[in-house]
Amino acid sequence: MIKKTVEFIALKQRFIIAAAVIFALLYPLLFSDLFILRMGTLCLMYIMLALGINLIMGYMGQMTFGHAAFWGIGAYTAAILSGRFGTNFIVDIIAAALVAGAFGFLLGLPVLKVKGYYLTIVTLGFGEIVRLVELNASGLTGGALGIRGISGIRLFAQEFTSPRAFYYAILILVVLTTVILMRINNSRYGLALKSIRDDDSAAEVMGVNVVRNKIMTFVISAMIAGVAGAFFAHYISYIDSTSFTTQASQEMCVMVILGGLGSIPGTMLGASVLTLVPEFIRGLAEYRMLIYGVIMVVMMLVRPQGLLGYTDFGLIRTRLLEERGKKKGGGENNGTTGTEG
Amino acid sequence: MFLQQLLNGIALGSTYALVAIGYSLVFGVLRIINFANGSLYMLGAYLVFVLYSAMNGQLVLAILFALLATAAAGFLVDFVGLRKLRRDNAPRMSGLISTMGIATIIENVIQIWIGTETKQFPDFLNFGSFQIGSAIVTSTQICIFFISLFLMAAFSLLVYKTKIGKAMRAVSQNMTTARLMGINVKLVISGTFMVSGFLAAVAGTMVGAYYRAIDTLMSSSVGMKTFAAAVLGGVGSLPGAMVGGLLVGVAESIGGSYISSGYRDAIAFAILILVLLIKPSGIFGKKIVEKM
Amino acid sequence: MEQQVLKVDHITQQFGGLSALKDINMELNRGEIVGVIGPNGAGKTTLFNVITGVYKPTKGMVFIDGKNGTGKKPFEITKMGFARTFQNIRLFPRMTILENVMMGAYCRTSANVFQIIADTPKKKKEHIRIRERALELLKMMGLYEYRYELPTSLPYGEQRRLEIARALATEPMVLLLDEPAAGMNDQETEDLRKIILMLKQEGYTILLIEHDMKFVMNICERIYVLDHGELIAQGKPEEVNSDPKVIEAYLGKDED
């Protein structure tokens, strides 16, 4: 049953992707309710964050609990820049990516000394320190008061503040992120990450500069979170350090853990379910974190790789098509040398 | 000022040491970090609060029940969250996520059940105070220090001088061999978790009495700080946990007053990161060589 | 001398006061098949780890194709043309068999992260190239039809062959095989022997560690014998075979 469904999705994946994209494009036109539009926007932003963290968790196999720090760094960068210099949205995004990327580099540096378990702890400490700096460096971040009155999306000498504009802005960013991740996945860099995940010392022996790849991954993942942060700052127009806590990092991790490590559709599923379900089911919001905790435990016990973890629909499709080709073509040359065993 | 902060730091640090022992014991035996330990600290304090109100001020009984219940909760952390992972030979990271999940559950159950507002805690260790130079020492601080010292001594004796302790150390060195030697490994592991739950609850209760209040934020920072203490001392080392706890408490107290109180919590995290980067084995820990 | 692809020069490796290797000298010439034998704990795998950069030697030098390779990182050694397999098979368990072999070719690709994100023609071409090379190697090793499976689904002997395919994908000059016949049945060992001889014909230089004396005697042109981290004998198989020191250290202690 599950296998059949997975195969069906794999075969129809192009159709499903097209349908999803069209739905995403029409969403703000179909639903004019502000709450629903807001949910869609937040959901997309969490998808972006979860995709970014999945690069570290799913592809590289490194647990991290400090990712909200990059989100926050991006948000503060955009808020400070646009507030003090009136920069436009593109500049904010690039600056947020660069600053967050620089901090990602900083957090990546410890891989020179520690790995795995201990590195996870370092990320946790890093996240808390960044939050405390945001809370206390009042001159820069507004301290406990945060930064208020952040502008809308400034672009082409205009300021867009409508919910729809924000929705389409984050949609574009999510699409870009997805494309980047797919390209990484299907490249030498993707191979290197997966080999590091599976066995990093063997990867090193097979020619992978493990340290460099790990640091690079922290940088890219941090940049994605930073951009999401810049968007977030403009979207909600008021930020303070209470958004960028370890708990927020944990929520991002749980989205990936539920949806599936190393799986783009899985991440989207996990992020969507966990953002939307507590909001749409009345009375569930209070139990939100409790549910996250239960998911963490249950997933670890039952399916540690997540629902769609390491499920490669592209691969399943290739295999299925090949099997069919064999049946139809009557053993057309597939180059099989099945003489062994 | 300095002396005052030093004394405050020692009192606070000795409670950190108790929680840090829990991290160390579990890490020593299972090589995993029990992230739920910080929330057991909070659970212990809240159970005292709830039972104290429910039992019409029977404080001693309330504390006794609360400590036992938290020890049982410690057992449950392992039983629910980790036992199956051990059987499946799951990666250690799964254990970390699982215990972190349990921590989240415990904290949120308390929040939903009792509420997030600060609760008044019985001030039962307060018999007055006296002065040393310019510093004021309260009886609560003295009690905290000596109770912690007593428990640390008792557990050192337990671990290093008794048969149970011997079994514990055998399991931490090699679980398979220990099993073959006829040691009940399951029992040792359960015992370790119960002990760490018990110690965390004692610490939580004493800190509640110290501040005369508890709130639902008490566990998150303490979990990280005591973990930092355990790492600083050397995870898996009992004396390391004690020294680490005191050092973190003192550093936080003195640093918090001289640098900036806003960065008080950051001090422990900075210590944690620096130790991991410079000497991951901590002060007393043994170096773990990874084999190719 | 120009033929020499590996020179191990007075290598000593200590771990906390214990010497795992003591003053080892050895060399390897292009096109040779050379064996390293010795009882368990003799330091064979340690020697491999020193050559491939996993350990940094306490004393001595390693020269790779005339260049200094001492203290280089494993990935640099691989790039210099040394590829290895592992005693306890170390494939990437959650990557497909095809990806495992493509992983070997990783060190022969060079697209940087910007080219990858921009999906430039260079990157695409390079990726197709290593994919095709990997498929070719899988055909050669008779593993092509399993290319989309996970390596854990293969029987033991085929996992070892896959490891060799992965090593070959790095386009090595020298193959270092760490106990390739360990745990194989007679048929699998025979297949392995054929593969090694075929590789020799293709011009690869092979250094292999082996426990199975018969296998080594059969296939190697020269043999080094290690015992307790010391080189106690070297030479042609028949010379080594009759060396009393070898018999005492190795054969004498063995049950059969």
Task: Check A300 against B98: CB less than 8 A apart.
Answer: yes
Percent of chain A with pLDDT over 70: 95
Residues of chain C with pLDDT under 70: 1-2, 250-256
In this predicted model, what pLDDT tens digit does every residue of C37-93 receive, in sequence order?
888 888 888 999 999 999 999 999 999 988 898 888 999 999 999 999 998 899 999
Instruction: Check if C144 contacts A (Cβ < 8 Å).
Output: yes
A281 pLDDT more than 80: no
Q: What is the DSSP string of C144-167?
A: GGGTTS-GGGS-HHHHHHHHHHHH
In this predicted model, what pLDDT tens digit does every residue of A174-208 receive, in sequence order?
999 999 999 999 999 999 999 999 998 899 999 99
> Cα A293 to the chain's mean position, in Å?
20
Q: Can you tell me the distance from the alpha carbon of B102 to that of A290, in angstroms, rounded to the nearest whole number?
A: 9
Residues of chain B with pLDDT under 70: 286-292
pLDDT at B287: 54
pLDDT at C115: 92
* Position A308, amino acid: L
Task: Answer whether residue C252 is part of any domain.
Answer: no
Q: Can you tell me the distance from the alpha carbon of C174 to that of C29, in angstroms, rounded to the nearest whole number?
A: 10
| Beta strands at C4-15 and A158-160: parallel, antiparallel or unpaired | unpaired
Note the helical H segments in B131-278: 139-161, 163-173, 175-180, 185-211, 218-233, 238-258, 264-278
Residues of B in contact with C74 (CB under 8 A): none
Percent of chain A with pLDDT over 90: 48
Q: Residue C192: which residues within 8 A CB-CB, separation 6 or more?
A: C157, C160, C161, C180, C181, C184
Q: Residue A231: which residues within 8 A CB-CB, separation 6 or more?
A: A45, A48, A78, A93, A166, A169, A170, A173
Residue of B nearest to A253 (CA): B97
Among A203, A208, A339, whose Cβ lies nearest the Cβ of C142?
A: A339
Residues of B in contact with C55 (CB under 8 A): 292
Could you give all domains of chain A from N- to C-terminal order, each with its CATH number? Answer: 2-320 (1.10.3470)
Q: State which residues form the domain around C75.
A: 35-184+195-221+231-247
Task: Answer whether residue B284 is part of any domain.
Answer: no
Lowest model confidence (mean pLDDT) among A3-17, A64-78, A94-108, B14-28: A3-17
Among B85, B98, B292, whose Cβ lies nearest the Cβ of A296?
A: B98
Task: Answer whether residue B214 is part of any domain.
Answer: yes
pLDDT at C212: 76
* pTM of this structure: 0.89
Q: How many domains does chain B have?
A: 1
In this predicted model, what pLDDT tens digit does every residue of A142-180 receive, in sequence order?
888 888 888 888 888 788 888 899 999 999 999 999 999
pLDDT at A37: 92
Phi, psi of C64 (to 5 degrees): -115, 115
Among C54, C91, C139, whose Cβ lies nearest the Cβ of A337?
A: C139
Instruction: Check if C103 contacts A (Cβ < 8 Å).
Output: yes
Instruction: Check if A145 contacts B (Cβ < 8 Å).
Output: no
Residues of A in contact with B92 (CB under 8 A): 116-117
Instruction: Check if the beta carbon of residue C142 is closer than 8 Å to that of residue C149.
Output: no
Note the helical H segments in chain C: 44-51, 74-79, 97-105, 113-118, 121-140, 156-169, 186-201, 213-219, 237-242, 244-246
pLDDT at B4: 87
Task: Answer whether residue B111 is part of any domain.
Answer: yes
Task: Check C106 against A188: CB less than 8 A apart.
Answer: yes
Q: How many domains does chain C have?
A: 1
CATH label of the domain that carries residue B93: 1.10.3470
pLDDT at B58: 84
Q: Give me the residue label for tokens 């337990």.
A: B158
* Position C223, amino acid: I
Residues of B in contact with A118 (CB under 8 A): 276, 280
Q: Residue A60: which residues within 8 A CB-CB, separation 6 or more?
A: A193, A196, A197, A213, A214, A217
pLDDT at B147: 92
Residues of A in contact with C94 (CB under 8 A): 194, 197-198, 310
Write out the two tokens for B114: 């009792």
In this predicted model, what pLDDT tens digit does every residue of A210-232 receive, in sequence order?
999 999 999 999 999 999 999 99
Residues of A in contact with B227 (CB under 8 A): 121
- Chain A closest-CA separation from residue B102 CA (Å): 6
pLDDT at B33: 83
Instruction: Check if A290 contacts B (Cβ < 8 Å).
Output: yes
Write out the two tokens for A167: 């929705």
Instruction: Check if A253 contacts B (Cβ < 8 Å).
Output: yes
CATH label of the domain that carries residue C199: 3.40.50.300
Task: Answer whether residue C1 is part of any domain.
Answer: no
Residue of B nearest to A144 (CA): B262
Q: Which residues of A98-122 are buried (b: 16+ CB within 10 A; e: fewer)?
A: ebbbebbeebbebbeebbbbbbbbb
A341 pLDDT more than 70: no
Four-residue CA torsion sign, B184, B190, B193, B196:
negative
pLDDT band at A247 (very low <50, low <70, confident <90, very high): confident
- Chain B closest-CA separation from residue C138 CA (Å): 27
Instruction: Check if the beta carbon of residue C202 is closer than 8 Å to that of residue C173.
Output: no
Task: Answer whether residue C46 is part of any domain.
Answer: yes
Task: Answer whether residue B202 is part of any domain.
Answer: yes
User: In this predicted complex, what is the ipTM?
Assistant: 0.89
**Looking at the DSSP assignment, which residues form a beta bridge with residue A159?**
A154
- Chain C closest-CA separation from residue A220 CA (Å): 10
pLDDT at C183: 82
Instruction: Check if the beta carbon of residue A135 is closer than 8 Å to that of residue A123.
Output: no
Mean pLDDT of chain A: 87
- Chain C closest-CA separation from residue B24 CA (Å): 26
A310 pLDDT more than 70: yes
Instruction: Check if the beta carbon of residue A296 is closer than 8 Å to that of residue B104.
Output: yes
In this predicted model, what pLDDT tens digit does every residue of A91-127 receive, in sequence order?
999 999 999 999 999 999 888 777 777 888 889 889 9
Q: State which residues form the domain around B155.
A: 2-278
Q: What is the DSSP letter of B76?
A: H
pLDDT at C240: 84
User: Nearest to residue B212, comparing CAs of B45, B53, B44, B56?
Assistant: B45
Residues of C in contact with B292 (CB under 8 A): 49, 54-55
Coil, helix or strand for A203? helix
Residues of A in contact with C86 (CB under 8 A): 202
pLDDT at B175: 82
Task: Answer whether residue B288 is part of any domain.
Answer: no
Chains with 3 or more CB pairs under 8 A to chain B = A, C
Instruction: Check if C137 contacts A (Cβ < 8 Å).
Output: no
Q: Give me the residue label for tokens 């022969």.
A: C108
Task: Check A110 against B273: CB less than 8 A apart.
Answer: yes
Instruction: Check if the beta carbon of residue A82 is closer than 8 Å to that of residue A234.
Output: yes
